[in-house]
Amino acid sequence: MKTPSIFKWTLKYGLMSALAGILCCVAPAVLFMLGLMGGVVAISFADFFYQEDGSLGTGAILLRVVAVLIGAYGIYKYKTTQDQCSIDPKRKKLNLLLVGALIIILGILLFIGLEEFSSWYFDTYIVPQQQIELEGK
């Protein structure tokens, strides 16, 4: 059996973790970009995950917990897949440590990047559109 690729594994689970954690903001931005929802709906979709004061709500916390679970599952799955291969135990530990660190680092960096992008996109495009839609009513 072939040893799993550390970089593919890291990219796969790091990206899935980041997307799961920031889904509350990226999903309405993407749907707005595609013209599938207006500004008012996009803002209300994102607001569903946050409190009135802008702090994290139950939905946002739940998404972040899911993101951590996806990352942890990726590390666990790598360990079980790697254990099927006959490689040096020291190398297995090093690989597992490397995959764990890379998934955490990549997941956090992608999460922060997507959060910054979605904040900028909301402020630049969605909020002005929401104000136009609300003035028209």
For 3, left (φ over 0), alpha (ψ -120 to 50), or beta? beta
**Measured between alpha carbons, how far apart are the two ends of the chain, in Å?**
63
In a domain, 56, yes or no: yes
Cβ atoms of 9 and 99 closer than 8 Å: yes
The tens-digit pLDDT sequence of the chain (137 residues) is: 677 788 999 999 999 999 999 998 899 999 999 999 999 999 888 888 888 887 888 999 999 999 999 999 999 999 988 877 667 888 889 989 999 999 999 999 999 999 999 999 999 999 999 999 998 76
In a domain, 1, yes or no: no
Farthest-apart Cα atoms in the chain, separation? 68
In a domain, 47, yes or no: yes
Q: Look at the chain and report how many structural domains it folds into.
A: 1
pLDDT of the residue at 137: 63
In a domain, 3, yes or no: no
| Among the listed residues 68, 37, 62, the one whose alpha carbon sits nearest the alpha carbon of residue 133 | 37
In a domain, 136, yes or no: no
Gap between the Cα atoms of 29 and 75, Å rounded? 30
In a domain, 105, yes or no: yes
Cβ atoms of 34 and 45 closer than 8 Å: no
Q: Could you tell me the pTM of the whole model?
A: 0.86
In a domain, 2, yes or no: no
Domain range for residue 50? 8-130
Measured over the CA atoms of residue 128, residue 131, residue 136 and residue 137, the dihedral's sign is positive
pLDDT of the residue at 4: 79
